[in-house]
Amino acid sequence: MKTLLRGVALAVLLAASPAVAQTPPNVLVVGQIAEPQSLDPHVVTAANDFRILINVFEGLVRFAEGTLEVEPALATDWTISEDGLVYTFNLRDDVTFHDGTPFNAEAVKFTFDRMLDEDHPYYDTGPFPLSFFFADIAETTVVDEFTVEFTLSQPFAPFMSNLAGTSGVIVSPAAVAEHGEDFGRNPVGTGPFRFEEWASNTRVVVSRNDDYWGEPAGVEAVVFRPVTDANTRVAEMLSGGIDVMVEVPPDNVAMFSDDPGFTVHDAVGPHVWYVMLNMLEGPFTDVRVRQAANYAVNKESLVNDVLQGTADVSAGPIPPAFNWAYNENVAPYPYDPDRARELLQEAGIDDLSVTFYVTEGGSGMLDPIPMGTAIQADLAAVGFDVSIETYEWNTFLANVNPGLEGKADMAQMAWMTSDPDTLPFLTLRTAAWPDAGGFNSSYYSNIDVDEMLDQARMDTDPETRAALYRDVQQVVHDDAPWIFVANWKQNAVTTSNVEGFALQPDFNLVLKGVTKN
């Protein structure tokens, strides 16, 4: 297999040359938007990385293809106690990790203890930023070799959807023990593809797992190539250097749609694109200034002109894809520069100089540089003096995730989630400020929102949960800790010889069923 993959890697490198313009047969080449941060599924947060990892790792459950409905994966079935505190899973008894070690209840316990137990011998292979999803697990118990039990400290409504997400996948205990902190460069799971190679800034290669417990993958290997520049990704697609391109630049969607050599795929998913506003210091500590920024930005122009209709205007932190929890009565801030000027005059702030962090591109970031410059111009038109600082994606995250204090007044961000709890819980609670381990980099704090979010994740009645999320959307909209910009209609393009490809609502790339003729 290693000899085969070396040949694949060489062929891919040759395919990058316009003179060759052909990817290897039965090998799928995916043009990614950035280099992965890590291939340890529990230490990453970006969809760019998850798109690779979901093909290597599996969880006890997963989302059924094309939906956000939970179905069995490494577990065959499960029961939930009447009080909602004990989840018991029966596991498949015919699964092995890619390193040949057995998948069993001990591996499940190891995985979750590693994320949650500070005394675990491999807890220091983290940090584990999305362990928030499982913080209510009080104990993971091995009942027998193929039965595992989770006891929660309190009822937690999103628990099953969080288990189905990429952060709930199971890792090989033997591989973690062997590689320690380098597990992120040597990932071992149970999925339909096994890791082969990571050549930094060049490619990640995974090969078909011939010992997979389910239906085998349709292609021999998948090569994920980081092509950070959107124009270069388009050129690679046109010249035959890649077979799949995610996050098609809006200006190019129509061109690919009109070309019979390509297929454009799109799907609505739970995505929010926004601009964080620093509420700890500077002009955005005043709610009137934050609201003024929302009125000042022409979001209709952004989604129609910059994004070419590939998104809708956002009204708040709960995306409309969660239709059961979405508040249709909360309207987006209209474009009203006169109202923006009135609010700024009321606030009486003399210095409206602000620093705006913009990224070159990243998972779910759409067309960030043109969007950033358009936002800069709209804000300047009402009196702001906006200075843009642009960063490569991973450098951008390293600057933004620890918080904006002392660095910037504004920063772009996008989230793609599988439950309405995730984005507000990780980015809007007071307890989610960066120094507490969360992603509330704008330092928003509202005790009513805190209480509603805590109640929503504990209440198992769907209607009660939905009402709470609708209220959260209204309060956050009025407090305006962000400029609410867009909800993306995700897209991708494939060459005409790729079959079985489909976009998923959770924004992952499930490539097991893809073939290439």
| Domains of the chain from N-terminus onward | 1-56+191-243+497-517 (3.40.190.10), 58-180 (3.90.76.10), 271-489 (3.10.105.10)
Mean pLDDT, all residues of the chain: 93
Is 181 in contact with 35 (CB distance < 8 Å)? Answer: no
pLDDT(18) > 80: no
Mean pLDDT within 403-416: 96
Q: pLDDT category, 15, cuts 50, 70, 90? A: very low
Instruction: Please report which confidence band the pLDDT of residue 68 belongs to, taking 50, 70 and 90 as the band edges.
Output: confident
| One-letter identity of residue 457 | R
The answer for residues whose C-beta is within 8 angstroms of residue 10's C-beta and 6 or more apart is: none
pLDDT of 8 above 70: no
Among 333, 337, 327, CA closest to 313: 333
Residue 96: DSSP 8-state = B
Separation CA 76–CA 302 (nearest Å): 46
Residue among 299, 243, 269 at smallest CA distance from 24: 243
Average pLDDT over residues 299-306: 96
For residue range 211-256, list pLDDT tens digits in order.
999 999 999 999 999 998 889 999 999 999 999 999 888 889 999 9
Q: Is the pTM of this model over 0.85?
A: no
- The pLDDT tens digits of the residues spanning 98-140 come to 999 999 999 999 999 999 999 999 999 999 988 988 999 999 9
Q: Contacts from 200-206 at CB under 8 Å and sequence distance 24+?
A: 200/35, 201/35, 201/226, 202/13, 202/226, 203/9, 203/12, 204/36, 204/39, 204/52, 205/5, 205/8, 205/9, 206/52, 206/55, 206/56
pLDDT digits (tens, 9 = 90+) for 320-360: 988 889 999 999 999 999 999 999 999 999 899 999 999 99
Mean pLDDT for 154-174 is 94
SS3 193: strand
Q: Give the rounded distance of the alpha carbon of 291 from its chain centre.
A: 27
Q: Is the pLDDT of residue 209 over 70?
A: yes
What whole-number distance in Å separates Cα of residue 181 and Cα of residue 274?
A: 33
* 36 backbone dihedrals φ, ψ, rounded to 5°: -65, 150
pLDDT digits (tens, 9 = 90+) for 440-470: 999 999 999 999 999 998 887 889 999 999 9
The answer to whether residue 506 scores a pLDDT higher than 60 is yes
Between 489 and 261, whose confidence is greater?
Answer: 261
- pLDDT of residue 261 exceeding 50, the answer is yes
Query: Percent of the chain having pLDDT more than 70?
Result: 96
Euclidean distance between CA atoms 52 and 29, whole angstroms = 12
Confidence of residue 20 (pLDDT cuts 50, 70, 90): very low
In tens, the pLDDT along 384-400 reads: 999 999 999 999 999 99
What element of type H or E holds 312?
Answer: strand 311-313
